[in-house]
Amino acid sequence: MIENLLMGFKISLSFQNIIYCFIGCTLGTIIGVLPGLGPSATIAMLLTLTYKLDLTSAIIMLAGIYYGASYGGTITSVLINIPGEASTVVTCIDGYQMALQGKAGKALGIAAFGSFIAGTLGTIGLSLLAPPLSKLALMFGPAEYSALMILGLTLVIYLGSGSPLKAMLMGALGLAIGTIGMDPATAVERFTFGSQSLIEGVNMAVLAMGLFGIGEVLFMAESSGARSSRDSIKYSSKLRELLPDRNDWKISIKPICRGTALGFLLGILPGGGAVISSFASYAVEKKVSKHPERFGKGAIEGVAGPESANNSAVNGAFIPLLTLGIPSNVVMALLIGAFMLHGVTPGPFIVKEHPQVFWGVITSMYVGNVILLILNVPLIRFFVKIIEVPFALLSPLIVLICVIGAYSLNNNPVDIVIMVIFGVMGYLMRKFHYEPAPFMLGFVLGGMLEKSIRQSLVISQGSPMIFFTRPISMVLMAATILMVVSPILTASLKQYRLGSALEKVRKAASEQDD
Amino acid sequence: MVNEKDFSSGLFLFLLGLFLAFLSIRYSIWSKFGPDEGFFPLAVAMIIIGLSLIIIVKSFFIAKPQEKGKTSDDKKRKIITTLRVSIYVILMLLYGFMLEKIGFLITSAVLIFPILKYVEKQSWKITLLVGFGSIITSYILFVHFLGVPLPRGFIGIW
């Protein structure tokens, strides 16, 4: 283990990888600062650019974008009450209140230090847990994989922010798009309509660029004419004023530790991730606080806890990706795309077959956290300036990078057309309140899920009971069923209680009349 | 009152599900060894049909929030936003069709300059500055840094 970590550090501390980690972290912070453009759109846009890079450097850079974005999102949440990232929405509540009270520096400081501590502890957790879990993953057969993927999709659907019904529908649509191309078992062409470009299936990078990059640009194009000016808050970027004092540390250290643990655990769960963990941490802090009335009025622990949670969740999310090859959220699904562009399938064998990638990526996160701390504390003033760049100037550049990126994958202009089609689809999804994330996850998991379900059914000679008789898959399927059934049961129970209460009121009223 | 957005999207997805189911049953669903190539798409199509039906039915019962009467300004804004999005889409599709014939430089200019000048309403100075900046940056990035052979088209430059 120590030998492997040393090997990883040797790789991640090479000049080239430090530069890529720095680029990723800086880019991540910038896009985190820019409201609207998230890590999914950026990673999707840059997927094709990583094609020429060495795989380890590519993943190090893309991972840097991911965790850099959660650092960057905090800056806008605190200073202008606009979350740059979904995972920093909750930081607005107390962070902005602190800024109004003239404590913006402290809010940003504790967020940066909390994120650093959480990111570092999360990376240690990842280093310790990933290798044994990848050994455990070798015990998984097709039935267990199927059950895990179904659970993952269900979790993404139920823990998402919109309507679960619509999310489920998008997940299914993603699975359907994933079936386009040659059937892996029988080599029959499916839904290609005679197009040569579709025989290999829809390219993941093309789909991601369309759905997230172009979809976002089109959605922003609608509103860019009607944007209001933003009020910003005066703050000092003097280092001393950014450093939390002893009292701040005393209040914040426990929330940071709790947030780290909670975020890491929720990050591991498929569908968990940074957004839910930040909300969960805020709820926990409010619950355990002796003065819950301070929350919402500038409580520093309301910033420290969620900021730590969203950063350690990022580390946790790497565990299912690196050990099982299953993405727990949409960014991880895009990282699978980067692995596949280089001909590597992430999963339990990655530790043995590509140890330099596995340990290089893990140790780069230690380096990345140091880079982010260095970037975030003194360069806050610079990042705040970025907020002022209008989207109208960014969108043509995003469009150009996406169209050339799509073309460069196979030197095929049809890919541009396919990307535009998915771009329009992404735009319509946002307009009609359908989430694109379950669609993307469904698409990524589609091929794997179909393969493992078919293998399981061949093994069981067509009996679906295979999913309910093997111990691991049985537990996973039970969890899935529980998740689907519990909201329906709760709603029915509420309706029943409401009905009986109404009945009682009616009875009482008729008795009074009598 | 019907929730129009949910009804129309549900109906579209329902028809899409039916189409997918129709295409799936043309493949073999089950063989003596187990599920075949049509099995999974058919199962997914059934899920899409079922879920979209629920959305359609729900759209009749869950009323959308009351909208104030639409003014002529609202209608005008809607037309403008639809136009903005349509121009983006048309220019990008044109890019796909023209790139190999006309080459990277001119096609990129045809994409970027109208967006900046007429959609994003920038001044000529900014349009030229950002437009050329974007084209040169992406050229350096893709051709020199990544070694992507971008088409030169019939003119023979870039």
Decide if pLDDT at A418 tops 70: yes
Looking at the DSSP bridge assignments, the partners of residue A182 are A189
Q: Which residues of A424-460 are buried (b: 16+ CB within 10 A; e: fewer)?
A: bbbbebbeeebbbbbbbbbbbbbbbbbbbbbbbbbeb
Q: Which of A125-134, B85-94, B114-123 has the highest mean pLDDT?
A: B85-94
Contact status of B136 with chain A (Cβ, < 8 Å):
no
Convert the pLDDT of each residue in A308-318 to its tens digit: 998 888 888 88
In this prediction, residues A483-512 reach a mean pLDDT of 78
Closest A-chain CA to B119: A221
CB-CB under 8 Å, B115 with A52: no
pLDDT over 90 at B57, yes or no: yes
More confident site: B145 or A4? A4
The most confident of the ranges A26-30, A264-268, A404-408, A413-417 is A413-417
Calpha distance B28→B37 (Å, rounded): 6
Q: Does B45 sit within 8 Å of A49, measured CB to CB?
A: no
Complex ipTM value: 0.92
B2-15 per-position pLDDT tens digit: 888 899 999 999 99
Q: How far apart are CA A361 and CA A383, in angstroms?
A: 26
Query: At A145, which amino acid appears?
Result: Y
For the cut 70, the answer to whether the pLDDT of residue A386 exceeds it is no
Q: Do A399 and B115 touch (CB under 8 A)?
A: yes
Candidate from B88, B100, B147 with C-beta closest to A221: B88
- Distance, in Å, from the CA atom of B136 to the CA atom of B105, rounded to the nearest integer, reads 9
Q: B158 pLDDT exceeds 70?
A: no
Contacts of B104 in chain A (CB under 8 A): 404
Residue B65 forms contact with A (CB below 8 Å)? no
Q: How is residue B69 annotated by DSSP? A: P
- The pLDDT of residue A227 is 44
Q: Which residue in the set A396, A400, A420 is minimally distant from B93, CB to CB? A: A420
More confident residue, A345 or A272: A345
Residue B141 forms contact with A (CB below 8 Å): yes
- CA A387 – CA A381 distance, rounded (Å): 11
Using a CB-CB cut-off of 8 Å, the residues of chain B touching A185 are 37
Residues of A in contact with B150 (CB under 8 A): 404, 407-408
Looking at residue A391, what is its pLDDT?
77
- Please tell me the number of Cα atoms within 13 Å of B119 on its side-chain side: 30
Out of B28, B34, B112, the one facing A458 most closely (by C-beta) is B34
**pLDDT exceeds 60 at position A343:** yes
> Is residue B40 classed exposed, middle or buried when 0-12, 13-18 and 19+ CB atoms within 10 A define those classes?
buried
Asked if B89 and A462 come within 8 Å (Cβ–Cβ), the reply is no
Half-sphere exposure of A155 (CA within 13 A, CB side): 23
pLDDT at position B64, please?
A: 59
- CB-nearest to B112 from A400, A457, A462 is A400
Give the residue, A361 or A254, on which the prediction is more confident. Answer: A254
pLDDT digits (tens, 9 = 90+) for A72-129: 778 877 876 766 666 777 888 888 888 888 787 788 888 888 888 888 888 888 888 8
Q: Which residues of A touch B125 (CB under 8 A)?
A: none
Q: Which of residues 28-57 of B touch A (CB under 8 A)?
A: 28, 30, 33-37, 39-41, 44-45, 47-48, 51-52, 54-55
Question: How many other C-beta atoms lie within 10 A of the C-beta of residue B106?
Answer: 17
Nearest CB among B36, B131, B135 relative to A186 is that of B36
Question: In B, which residues are within 8 Å of A165 by CB distance?
Answer: 51, 54-55, 58
For position A231, what pLDDT does the model report? 45
Closest partner CB to B51 (pick from A172, A222, A416): A172
Q: Is the pLDDT of residue A141 over 80?
A: yes
How many pairs of residues across A and B have Cβ atoms under 8 Å apart? 166
Q: Tell whether B105 lies on the interface with A, counting CB pairs under 8 A.
A: no
Set of chain B residues whose Cβ sits within 8 Å of the Cβ of A226: 77
Q: What is the pLDDT of residue A390?
A: 80
Percent of chain A with pLDDT over 90: 18
- Does A427 contact B85 at a Cβ distance shorter than 8 Å? yes
Helices (H), A269-329: 274-288, 301-324
> Of A165, A169, A224, which is closest to B120 when you measure between CB atoms?
A224
**CA-based nearest residue in chain B for residue A51:** B146
Token pair for A171: 């997940």
Per-residue pLDDT tens over the stretch A325-340: 878 777 888 888 888 8
Chain B residues whose CB is inside 8 A of the A434 CB are 9
pLDDT, average across residues A387-400: 80
CA distance to partner chain A, nearest, from residue B18 (Å): 12
- Model confidence band, residue A18 (pLDDT cutoffs 50, 70, 90): very high
B64 part of contact set with chain A, CB < 8 Å? no
Helix (H) or strand (E) holding B35: strand B34-35
> Angle A121-A127-A130 (CA atoms, 0-180°, nearest 5)?
125
Checking if the pLDDT of A134 tops 70, the result is yes
pLDDT of residue A388: 67
Tokens matching residue A16 = 């080239």
Which residues of chain B lie closer than 8 angstroms to A396, CB-CB?
111-112, 115-116, 120, 130-131, 134
